[in-house]
Amino acid sequence: MTNTPKSYGRKSISATLQPRDLMTPTPRLAGVWTAQIITLFPGAFPGVLGTSLTGRALDQGKWQLETIDLRDFGLTKHKNVDDTPAGGGAGMVLRADVVGPAIEQAIAKSPPNTPLLYLSPRGTPFTQETARRWSQGPGVILLCGRFEGVDQRVLDHYNIQEVSLGDFVLTGGEIAAQAMIDATIRLRPGVLGNAASTLEESHSNGLLEHPQYTRPPIWQGRHIPDVIMSGHHENIEKWRTEQSKSLTQQRRPDLWEKYTKR
């Protein structure tokens, strides 16, 4: 007997079943922002999304998460989901006739206009602007790849948009999905305690954020800058804006150029 649940997703069973969990195998709150994740590893969810502010918002029904286990769509008695690449080459490819029906199921359960996305290093880079756009829609359907990825025909057939977490290669889409959902959910109303903080932080206004300080005022001989301790709000604001600009200029010339040209 182990205390570790096999899955944190829709299949999780706990001693404190809520009535709505008993009514339907895929509890769905109407009109609530929903991430549907197609994955071979539903047990990886909610993962880090189940902690802190995103976890509390999940518990409160401010957003919801459903996993669709790709293995359930596997073929033959071995539930195969992948096969060797046509034309040869290393690794395995997720089969179109396995991924396709899983996508059909996700689409059938989603409101119209839900973006359908494949996590992929070949995709459009995910940015704060992507998070903002997704946060304003009904939710997302995210397809997590594994191995060498998925058969191209399934991407073409459903016109799936490819989205990348960055210019590196992960072993699967699950970590990318969690990162993107986290960035999106925190922009939903009521998820962060202090909504104003999403307007001022890095990437929201095209600049990186200024340095932050808290007590104690002196640590290891290092002082909090006088202006911050001055209580003069106008000067503090001015200092923060200058810091923000010079940090962006030094660290991210690409962002700085965009900022100065807009």
207: exposed, middle or buried (C-beta count within 10 Å: 0-12, 13-18, 19+)?
buried
Supply the minimum distance, in Å, between the C-beta of residue 207 and ligand SAH: 25
Q: Is 40 in the site for ligand SAH (CB under 6 A)?
A: no
**Beta strand pairing status for 139-143 and 116-125?**
parallel
| Tokens matching residue 94 | 């997720």
Site string for ligand SAH, 126-145 (x = CB under 6 A): ------------------xx
Provide the CA 249 distance to its chain's centre, in angstroms.
28
Q: Which of 119, 140, 183, 187 binds ligand SAH (CB under 6 A)?
A: 119
Q: How many angstroms separate the CA atoms of 170 and 180, rounded?
A: 14
Q: Is 67 in the site for ligand SAH (CB under 6 A)?
A: no
Cβ pair 156, 199 in contact under 8 A: no
Supply the minimum distance, in Å, between the C-beta of residue 199 and ligand SAH: 27
Supply the minimum distance, in Å, between the C-beta of residue 167 and ligand SAH: 7
* In 127-232, alpha helices (H): 128-135, 152-157, 174-185, 197-200, 226-229
Q: Is 120 in the site for ligand SAH (CB under 6 A)?
A: yes
| Tokens matching residue 162 | 């490819």
Instruction: Kindly tell me which of 36 and 248 has the beta carbon lying closer to ligand SAH.
Output: 36
254: exposed, middle or buried (C-beta count within 10 Å: 0-12, 13-18, 19+)?
exposed
Instruction: Kindly tell me which of 9 and 145 has the beta carbon lying closer to ligand SAH.
Output: 145
Q: How many angstroms separate the CA atoms of 76 and 56, rounded?
A: 40
Size of the site for ligand SAH (CB under 6 A): 19
Supply the minimum distance, in Å, between the C-beta of residue 170 and ligand SAH: 4
Supply the minimum distance, in Å, between the C-beta of residue 120 and ligand SAH: 5
Q: Which stretch binds ligand SAH (CB under 6 A): 23-31, 40-48, 170-178, 199-207?
A: 170-178
Name the residues that contact ligand SAH, by CB under 6 A: 119-122, 144-146, 148-149, 164-166, 168-173, 176
